[in-house]
Amino acid sequence: MGVEVLVAEIRHDVPEVDAFTQPYWDAAARGRLLIRRCRARGCGKAHHYPREICPRCWSEDNVWEEATGRATLHTWSVVHVNDLPPFGERLPYVAAVVDLEEGPRMTTEVVDCPEGRLRIGMGLRVAFRALPETPLKIPVFRPC
C-alpha cells in the first residue's frame, strides 16, 4: 500500500505578511512606499526593511512614514539564471540595491530600463508590480 504525497508549488515571490507588516503591504497595494523612522532622541533615522526595533539605537519607538519614492541606484546585477518559480519566466531581470531619498538602502528590482542604460547614481522612482493570485504589490523601481 503506497502513500500518496501531494506537493504544492512554493511561491518564492510572495512575502509573508503578518500583523506588523500589514500596514506596509496595504500601503503598497495603494501605490505608496512606507519606511520606518526611529523617534528616539538623538537618532531619528529611517530604516528599511520594516522592523519593530531601530537597527541603529535599538529603540522600540518607531513609526511608519511614507517615503517619497525617489531613489538612486547603488548597485545591480543582471540575473540570467534562476530556476525558482516564477523568476525563471522573467529572465533576464535586474536585481538591485537602491538608496532611498530618506537614507535607507533597499533591495529591489529595476524595471523598464535596458541593461546598457544602468548607471550607479541614476535617479529612480518607485513603481509597484502586482503579484498574480494575491492582493499584494511589490515595490520595484524604474528610471525617472
pLDDT at 84: 83
Domain housing 46: 22-143
Residue 75 maps to a domain: yes
Return phi, psi of residue 22, to 5°: -55, -45
Residue 17 maps to a domain: no
Residue 15 maps to a domain: no
The count of domains in the chain is 1
Residue 5 maps to a domain: no
pLDDT at 45: 97
pLDDT at 8: 54
Residue 40 maps to a domain: yes
Residue 6 maps to a domain: no
End-to-end CA distance of the chain: 62
Residue 82 maps to a domain: yes
pTM of the model: 0.88
Q: What is the pLDDT along the chain (144 residues), one digit of tens a residue?
A: 566 655 556 677 788 899 999 999 999 999 999 999 999 999 999 999 999 999 999 999 999 999 999 999 999 999 999 888 888 888 999 999 999 999 999 999 999 999 999 999 999 999 999 998 899 999 999 999
Q: Which three cell numbers stand for residue 44?
A: 531619528
Residue 79 maps to a domain: yes
> How many Å apart are CA 125 and CA 119, to the nearest integer?
14
pLDDT at 104: 97
Contact 63, 37 (CB under 8 A): yes
Instruction: For residue 109, give the amino acid letter.
Output: E
